[in-house]
A and B are shown apart, each in its own frame.
Chain A
Amino acid sequence: MEQVEVNPIVSIKDIRYSVFNQGIQYEILRDISISIAKGEIIVLLGSSGVGKTTLLRIISQLIIPSHGSVIFNTQAQKNQRLYGYVFQEPRLLPWRRVLKNVLFGLEEMPLKKKDKLKRAEEVLSMVKLTGLEHRWPYQLSGGQMQRVSIARALVVHPKILLMDEPFSSLDVLTRAQLQNNLLEIQNSTGTSIFFVTHDISEAIMLADRIFILQGSPAVVADEIQIDLPHPRSKTSKSFINYSLKIHQQFS
């Protein structure tokens, strides 16, 4: 914990966000502050519509906060990006084959073609999609599409991976596979992950720390450190205890 506060890779400070509708101001986020350390998995947990995606869009600079700042205490190296983004839906570009979708983030980087291809092959292997490079998105299952989306985010060698409920539309078995796959990838790359979900089990399964976003306007209602070794079992006593604690928070 101490290291996290001293040397965070990303600092989200006092974020507030409001929207105006017919002249009326609606405050969505209030005073959100979260620090993310290198290699850490932070899960932002909250019910649907609370403002989780809004916070992620602020971190990725898709929208500007009304107040506060997002500071990246690190610089992207050459041919690297600060963050990779995985959307809730895969959002693959349907006119590009799998390989070209993965290469999308590298297109304006001054890398040689063979290096780009090497990177793409590496990340496709990480997400276990080797051999499907030349398929069109419509030829993939939902889980495979989301794997491509993860590969596309990883190929830019991000300092942090921003993930917006990426497994929420998948069946339970595929979701479990992808959670394990994500942990393997995090283990091998050391990338920090900021993961948004409304699923308590998923949060405990993945997180080093969980931030609970609640209320209207949403505030960080609680921060929970998950001290469980990987692989985590949903049936273990400590897992269930964490789950009960979080459920209590929501009730």
Chain B
Amino acid sequence: MRASHRLRQRHLEDFETIWKGVLRATEQPDRYWSWAYKLRQGKQEARYEAYAIEVDSLTQGLMFLETQWHRSQLPQRYPLVYVEALAVAPWNRRLLEDPPYLRGVGRTLLLFARQRSLELGYGGRVGLHALPESEEFYRRNQMPEYDPDPDKEGLVYFEYGVLRR
């Protein structure tokens, strides 16, 4: 499993059709964030990058990064890779009695964010705001935890520092 795909039209279509099939199933209005908009933004502005994990011919995970404007929460304000959004396909989550189709998609995306940080000269620094139900996942991945961020509706901020031996 490799997060090597830059986001392409077919990944967006997977999101718009089968991932969002859950919307139709639950008859919820479509208020989803537009990955298509972000893809266009990514093409127009170099600071944005969008990636997908594709396995068995379908999109298994998506990630959108900002690579120039965000800074570390540390006093030194180091530049870092900021994860604007990270999500896995509905079938890769454990729900009730069903095991995930693939395990490790989220962790692979997170690993890729660190790789991009190294490539960009940020030393592996990565920041993100975890959803409340996902906080434990980032703790398990030894990502240092900061305070809830009032600018992000109270989501807790996590940040990897520089990669050390």
Query: Do these two chains interact?
Result: no
